[in-house]
Amino acid sequence: NNMTFTTGLGHRSPQHPLVIDQRVLGISPPLGITVFGPIDTDHYSDYWMFDVFESVTVPPISQWPTVETYLDVFIIPAINEFTVMQSMADTAYAWGYLSARVKSGIH
């Protein structure tokens, strides 16, 4: 469904990352936050959120392909949380590399 997992990037991006200030103040998410994204339902089958969503998704979420298991619900840390050392560091590294390629004329 052509979604990026970085807020403010592309046509469809996360609107509800796990940012408490955003929830309390009712504002748009800060730009540039890369959330963890989809989660493997086989590997994390005992995760609490699968029990919650199993009965309200069609087909049941445990049957979804991993790439489709992103739910833009802020209270699911395994999907909508982010850390500097994990999702944000990797993204910043990739963007830096791509930016350097453009500036140096390498395509």
Report yes or no on 56 lying in a domain: yes
| Whole-angstrom distance, CA of residue 104 vs CA of residue 16 | 36
Report yes or no on 29 lying in a domain: yes
- Report how many domains make up the chain: 1
Report yes or no on 43 lying in a domain: yes
pLDDT (tens digit per residue) in 21-65: 999 999 999 999 999 999 998 888 888 888 888 889 999 998 999
Residue 50, domain extent: 20-104
pLDDT > 70? residue 105? no
| Whole-angstrom distance, CA of residue 101 vs CA of residue 81 | 30
Report yes or no on 15 lying in a domain: no
Report yes or no on 8 lying in a domain: no
| Secondary structure (3-state) at 27 | coil
Report yes or no on 92 lying in a domain: yes
Report yes or no on 2 lying in a domain: no
pLDDT (tens digit per residue) in 58-88: 999 989 999 999 999 998 999 999 988 888 8
